[in-house]
């Protein structure tokens, strides 16, 4: 199964390091960062799990809940958390799903045809409060995930959801944004963007959004 952007994230119930949870009930009205790792006690993922934990304030500032998943049992997760907290100097506050029957991994397409049947690929899903998948990304086993980039994507999604804009290449919060090409009426442009805008091409128009107070 290959999930597409805009599709509903599959609902599931699973045992986690925080007990049994229903994914939709747990997520509530929050954004969600759902990320998989191939197995417990693996080096790259140990650093990633610690990084997610250290970014707790950044996730919360954006209304994001984090949840990890692998096909290892919950007892292994708890033992691995001890190593993560020791080596990464942090507190793993978020739940980790124990997907021993691979039901969640298969729902989300986390079992790669070329991978071992018992291992998930290293995928990331950003899911919005309507439970729709807004971003997917799969990393090779040897490359650690870039969490500042995931924060940047969430910032972009949240900004563009509430404004008629898109974000250009290498955009970061505070940079200029691109006005949606769907707005063609000058009166509407002037009303929506009273701060002004630059027309580079009819389809490429930049503006600086006011900072929120």
Distance between CA 23 and CA 12 in Å, rounded? 6
pLDDT at 213: 46
pLDDT at 170: 96
Cβ atoms of 118 and 71 closer than 8 Å: yes
pLDDT digits (tens, 9 = 90+) for 34-47: 999 888 999 999 99
User: What is the percent of the chain with per-residue pLDDT over 70, rounded to a whole number?
Assistant: 94
Q: For each of the chain's 213 residues, which pLDDT tens digit applies? A: 578 999 999 999 999 999 999 999 999 999 999 999 888 999 999 999 999 999 999 999 999 999 999 889 999 999 999 999 999 999 999 999 999 988 998 899 887 666 555 556 789 999 999 999 999 998 888 889 999 999 999 999 999 999 999 999 999 999 999 999 999 999 999 999 999 999 999 999 999 998 764
Q: How many CA atoms lie within 13 A of 11 on its CB side?
A: 7
- Closest by CA position to 95, among listed 9, 29, 35, 10: 35
Q: Which domains are present in the chain?
A: 13-143 (3.40.30.10), 163-207 (3.30.1020.10)
pLDDT at 210: 86
pLDDT at 113: 60
pLDDT at 12: 97
Q: Is there a catalytic annotation at residue 45?
A: yes
pLDDT digits (tens, 9 = 90+) for 79-93: 999 999 999 999 999
Max Cα distance, the chain (Å):
62
- Catalytic residue chosen out of the listed positions 9, 27, 45, 133: 45
């Amino acid at each position: 199964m290959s999930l597409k952007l805009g599709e509903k994230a599959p609902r599931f119930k699973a045992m986690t390091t925080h007990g049994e949870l229903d994914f939709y009930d747990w997520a509530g009205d929050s954004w969600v960062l759902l990320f998989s790792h191939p197995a417990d006690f693996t080096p790259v993922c140990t650093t990633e799990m610690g990084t997610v934990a250290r970014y707790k304030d950044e996730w919360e500032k954006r209304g994001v809940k984090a949840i990890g998943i692998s096909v290892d049992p919950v007892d292994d997760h708890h033992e691995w958390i001890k190593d993560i907290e020791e080596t990464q100097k942090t507190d793993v506050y978020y739940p980790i799903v124990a997907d021993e029957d691979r039901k969640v991994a298969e729902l989300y397409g986390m079992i790669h045809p070329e991978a071992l049947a018992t291992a998930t690929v290293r995928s990331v899903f950003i899911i919005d409060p309507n439970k729709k998948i807004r971003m997917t990304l799969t990393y090779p086993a040897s490359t650690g995930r870039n969490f500042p980039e995931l924060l940047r994507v969430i910032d972009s999604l949240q900004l563009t959801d509430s404004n008629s804009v898109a974000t250009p290449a290498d955009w970061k919060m505070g940079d200029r944004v691109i006005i949606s090409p769907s707005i063609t009426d000058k009166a509407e442009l002037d009303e929506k963007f009273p701060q002004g805008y630059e027309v580079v091409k009819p389809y490429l128009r930049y503006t600086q959004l006011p900072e929120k107070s």
